[in-house]
Structure 1
C-alpha cells in the first residue's frame, strides 16, 4: 500500500492585499509558508504553526482555499487563507527571506504550482479548488 504525505500551507493576506512569502533555504524557491502536518494536529492548527515557525507571524486561519496533489511525489497539500494577528517577520532555518509580496510579485517569483495556490486563495468567491500537478506544472483534469 502506498501512503500519501499531507502538508499544510498558509496564504497570509494583509489588509493592503500583500501576501506573506518565504524564500526556502533548501532550494531558493519562493513559496507560501508551509510544511508537513503533524500526526496529532488539526490541519488549521498545522497551517498556523508552520506560518509561525517559518516567518515569525501569528495568524488566524480563515478558510480552506485549495487541495493540491503532487502526482509524482504523493504529497497532498491543504492550503488555507489566513490573516495576520501579530508577530514580526523573521527568517528561520527553513527560510532565507520573508517578504510581503504583491500579486504581480507572486506571479514573477513563484513557480506555477505555488503561485496558483495564492491566486486561488485570493479568489474570495470560489469554493476550495482541487488541483493536481507534477511538481512544476498543473495537470489538466481527466
Structure 2
C-alpha cells in the first residue's frame, strides 16, 4: 500500500548573482511569472549538478553552485525546493522553451516582480544568517 502514500518532489532553485549584484530571473513560459531558474532534481544527480543543469537549460548561463540558501516547501503541491546561491561562470543569457524572457535584475526589481514565495529566495540568498526553512502555498509564505 505504499504506492498510495503522498509523495514529495524535490526541486532545486538557482539564485544566480553576478559580481555587480544583479540576480538572474526568468519569465516562465507556462504561467508568465518571474522566478529564479530551477526545476525538478533528477534521481541520479546531486543538488549541485541539478541546479547547474536547470540554470543552463532555462537560461543558457553556466554556473558554479555555492552554499545552500534555504529549503522551501510548497504545502499545496508537496514540492520541496533546495535553493542554492550560484555564481555565473560562462554562457550567454537567452530565452528558452521554459523561459520566454531571461534578465539580470537588481535585487529590488526581482523582489518586486516575483511572487513572495520566490522573491524570498533572492532576499535569503543575499543574507549571511541562513540557511532558512520556509513554507508557502505556491505564491505566499505561510
Q: TM-score, normalised by structure 1?
A: 0.95
1:121 corresponds to which of 120, 125, 133: 125
Matched residue pairs, number?
Answer: 138
Matches of 2:11 and 2:103 in 1, distance apart? 22
> What is the root-mean-square deviation in Å for CA atoms of aligned residues?
0.6
2:60 to 56, 62, 71: 56
Counterpart among 117, 125, 133 of residue 130 in structure 1: 133
Contact in 1 for aligned 2:76/2:138 (Cα 8 Å): yes
In structure 2, what is the equivalent of residue 20 of structure 1? 24
Unpaired stretches in structure 2, ≥5 consecutive residues: none
Q: Distance in 1 between matches of 2:14 and 2:111?
A: 17
Confirm or deny: 8 A CA contact 2:124 2:130 kept in the other structure.
Answer: no
Does 2:31 correspond to 1:31?
no
Contact 2:116 2:139 in 1 (8 A): yes
Matched, 1:42 2:46: yes
Q: Is the contact made by 2:12 and 2:47 (CA closer than 8 Å) also made in structure 1?
A: yes
Structure 1 residues not aligned, in runs of 5+: none
Query: C-alpha offsets along residues 57-97 of structure 1, whole Å, 9 cap, x if unaligned?
Result: 00000110010001111000000000000000011100000
Which residue of structure 1 aligns with residue 9 of structure 2?
A: 5
- Measured after TM superposition, the shift of residue 104 of structure 1 is 1.3
